[in-house]
Amino acid sequence: MEFANVGEFRQNAARVFDRVRRTGEVVILRNGRPVGLLVAADAETIDSFRVAAQRTRAQLAAERLRGASARRSLDRLTPEDITGLIRRTRRARSRRR
């Protein structure tokens, strides 16, 4: 896996893109932390990469939600508990209007 910092990318994007073409991917770093991923693509593969990235973002969001639920002990709710929580929330909202 190749890495390039933001400064290098700003100063010489063409060289970074050459590395992407050669190696397949380059991780962009800011202050040593990853902020982006450049992936080699062409007209035939760009849609597949875009769909895969959207799917990955959705999976990561679901994992974050599961983790937050577990930390709040909401992962043990029964369907009846969930229905009751929804009803209480809807009642509280309708009273505010």
**pLDDT by residue (tens digit) across 32-78?**
999 999 999 999 999 999 999 999 999 999 999 999 989 988 888 88
Give the torsion sign (CA, 9, 15, 21, 26).
Answer: negative
50: Cα within 13 Å, side-chain hemisphere: 6
Q: How confident is the model at residue 6 (pLDDT cuts 50, 70, 90)?
A: very high
Contact by Cβ (8 Å): 2, 27: yes
Domain coverage including residue 6: 2-96
Total structural domains within the chain: 1
List all residues 6 or more positions away from 27 whose beta carbon is below 8 Å from its beta carbon. Answer: 1, 2, 3, 4, 34, 36, 37, 38
pLDDT at 73: 85
Specify the pTM: 0.65
Rounded to 10 degrees, what is the CA torsion of 86, 87, 88, 89? 50
